[in-house]
Structure 1
Amino acid sequence: MAKLTLTSDLARMARLAGLFYLIIIIAGLGAELGLRGPLIDLADANGTAAAILAAPGQFRLAIAADLVMVLSDAGLAILLYLIFRAAAPGLALAAMVFRLIQTVLIAANLMALQAAWLILSEADALADSAALALVFLDLHGHGYDLGLVFFGVNSVMMGVLVWRSGLFGKLYGMGLAVAGLVYLTGSGLRFFAPEWSAAFAPAYGLTVLAETAFCLRLLVQRQPARQTV
């Protein structure tokens, strides 16, 4: 893997990538924890239905935030490829592909949320609409974790790229690789050992820390100093 030399173009792309990353973090956490999370209780179908119907704007805003997140994610995937392709073209391309697969899965998975809303809004015409809507809301959670499998692989690859490129500190690469392992483990538990998911949830704090640190590092990337003759 070749070492990268910082250029003005790379610095500009890094700052733009940092901006996309910041949008992803704010929109993603805002949608999942700030907007949608307070409305959904997978153990209470009727309570969840009542909460969503009482706050339709909040539920729809969460979907809109997720759309902003996935659009930004597609842009970030391309920018990170452009930044690191000179260091390891194959690995950078593979990382972009895995991140884009995650982006497509999460975008398509928003239809589960829309299906839940359509079911609840037609409650009078459907039997046990609250329970059926809850199935789609749970399906959305599983679909999100399926996307994170591919994102976990991407994060490990990005960790290697950052570690070995010489463009950023190795600590950022280590953090991204650890975040990738957390995503892979958490998604695996969601599908194959769901009884352990709740106990593992605090580990996601490591992913927020690692990705926020890398985001801020990208945002503060300075232009390379001009050499004087």
Structure 2
Amino acid sequence: MENQIQTTQKFRLMGLIYVLIIILAGFSQGYVREGIFIPGDPATSASNILENEGLFRIGLIADLLAFLLDAIISVMLYLLLKPYGKMLALVSSSLRLLAHPAIGTLNLLNHYLALHVLKTETIQASFEVPQIESLSYLFLDAHGYGYLLAGAFFGVHCALLGFQLIRSGIFQKILGALMVLAGLGYLIETFGDFAFPGNESLFAWIVGITAALGEVTLALYLLIKGSKIKSTTS
């Protein structure tokens, strides 16, 4: 009975962490940057950053917290799934660690520098205002591409994770299928944006829908149905 309680707590903790990651990352990317960054308009984007400086800084902190939690859940997923294929679990979790805790965290420098160049006196003394605004815009634009690069690693992780969930037999197979679909969505966005510019909105919709179906469903399943999952992990 005690082991069952510990197992339930473990899965629910994993589900809670995953939900927090989704909320924090969604807030930063979907609310903060999407509301502030205006494609093709450096002046307005710079003005939005300065007028919402506190929110912009909170967005960076939210992302950083999400990436820290992502490192934790990467290890938890490895420990959960290694009895059903140690090598596959290791590869999958390593890709998740590379995606957000590594690439995503370094990419936050671009987020910060978009504000930093607008606030630094030495830069203001050396460049004209439109040049500084364009430089800030460049950093935010670079952040978007950095996010796409991380998405390639994360997409493969999600696809492998879905396969592991199906293979393990301790989860509903539909959860695994939805995670494979989410992985394909991330890969379509990353490679699609680089290969077929001009279709970013379409690819964003694809990844938004598939990620919601896969990741949100898995996170809520772990959080709510954790007590019904049987695991061989200690």
TM-score in same-fold range (> 0.5): yes
Residue equivalent to 2:26: 29
Q: Deviations over 1:80-139 (max 9, x none)?
A: 111111111110011110000002100000001111111111363233100111011000
More displaced stretch, 173-182 vs 185-194: 185-194
Shift of the alpha carbon at 1:207?
0.9
Name the Cα RMSD after superposition.
1.7
**2:129 maps to 1:132:** no
Deviation at 1:64, TM superposition (A): 0.5
Structure 2 partner of 1:173: 176
Pairing 1:222–2:227 present: yes
Matches within 5 A, 1:44-193: 44-103=41-100, 104-122=102-120, 124-125=124-125, 126-127=127-128, 128-193=131-196
Letter in 2 for 1:218: L
Query: How far off its partner does 1:69 sit?
Result: 0.5
More helix by share: 2
1:36 deviates by: 2.2
Structure 2: how far apart are the matches of 1:15 and 1:179?
22
**What is the aligned partner in structure 2 of residue 11 from structure 1?**
8
Identity %: 31
- Matched to 1:154, the amino acid is H
Whole-Å Cα distance in 2 between the matches of residues 56 and 38 of structure 1? Answer: 13
**AA at the equivalent of 1:111:** L
> Quick check: 2:156–2:187 contact (8 Å CA) kept in 1?
yes
C-alpha displacement at 1:209, in angstroms? 2.2
For the Cα contact (< 8 Å) 1:45–1:130, is it kept in 2?
yes
C-alpha displacement of 1:10: 4.1
Tell me the CA shift for residue 53 of structure 1: 0.5
> 2:193 matched to 1:196?
no
Q: Which amino acid aligns with 1:207?
A: A
Question: Is structure 2 residue 217 aligned with structure 1 residue 209?
Answer: no
3-state secondary structure, aligned to 2:212: helix
Partner of 1:38: 35
State the 4+ residue runs in structure 1 displaced beyond 6 angstroms: none
- TM-score, normalization: structure 2? 0.89
Amino acid at match of 1:132: L
**Runs of at least 5 residues in structure 1 that lack an aligned partner in the other structure:** 1-5
For structure 2, the 5+ residue unaligned runs are none
AA matched with 1:172: L
